[in-house]
Amino acid sequence: MARPLSDAKRTAILDAAAQAVAAQGIGASTAQIAKAAKVAEGTVFTYFENKDVLLNALFVRLEERLALAVGGSFPAQADVREQLLHVWNALLVWGAAHPVDRMALRQLKVSERITDCTRSHCAGLFGTTLQTLEASLARYVDPDRLGFYLGRVLITLLETTLEAMSAQPAQRDALAQAGFDLYWKGIQR
């Protein structure tokens, strides 16, 4: 009878994969991931059929964490500016608290190794939060550009703001507000 899989080993492999992807991109080898997880390379394949399965599992894990951070106490009844500010602040807090996860997720989001099925599943993790925000933004943003503004511009400006906040921690609040103000003004027609 096969030995049951260990949640601790699976977690260690995913943690090591996040660190490796954050540092080296998706080209990080499974040997490096195994070494960092303190398991044999074959053990990685006991838990994940191949590297693509591992990367997709990591993507789901990171998106689940992000969805929890963003969705918590989302002000669905508030005006669009307050909804965006909530998302902005949640992303800043999560990104600052989890820099390795943030950098790994950034690499995975642009990877062709993440399947459409995984991406679709992860989009559903955000529940009605994303749908509510998109509906609220409809009167401010050209619908053909909404995905670009939420998926690219917001994230790029967020990354720039996080870098500035890291470089100037005493200015953290002012930089966070300046980044949001720039985004808010930029999306209005």
Q: Is 48 helix (H, G, I), strand (E, B) or coil?
A: coil
* Percent of the chain residues topping a pLDDT of 70: 98
Listed in sequence order, the residues at least 6 apart from 100 whose beta carbon sits closer than 8 Å to its beta carbon are: 18, 19, 22
Establish if 50 belongs to a structural domain.
yes
Establish if 1 belongs to a structural domain.
no
Which residue range is the domain that position 132 belongs to?
Answer: 7-187
Q: How many domains does the chain have?
A: 1
User: Residue 25: which pLDDT band, with cuts at 50, 70 and 90?
Assistant: very high
- Is pLDDT of 1 > 80? no
Q: Is 31 helix (H, G, I), strand (E, B) or coil?
A: helix
- What single-letter amino acid sits at 127? G
Q: Are 22 and 107 in contact (CB under 8 A)?
A: yes
pLDDT in tens, 102-131: 999 999 999 999 999 999 999 899 888 888
pLDDT in tens, 141-170: 888 888 888 888 999 999 999 999 999 999
Query: Residue 4's pLDDT is what?
Result: 72
Query: Would you say the pTM of this structure is higher than 0.75?
Result: yes
CATH of the domain at 73: 1.10.357.10
Establish if 2 belongs to a structural domain.
no
pLDDT in tens, 46-104: 999 999 999 999 999 999 999 999 987 889 899 999 999 999 999 999 999 999 999 99
Measure the CA–CA gap between 77 and 104, rounded to whole angstroms.
33
Establish if 110 belongs to a structural domain.
yes
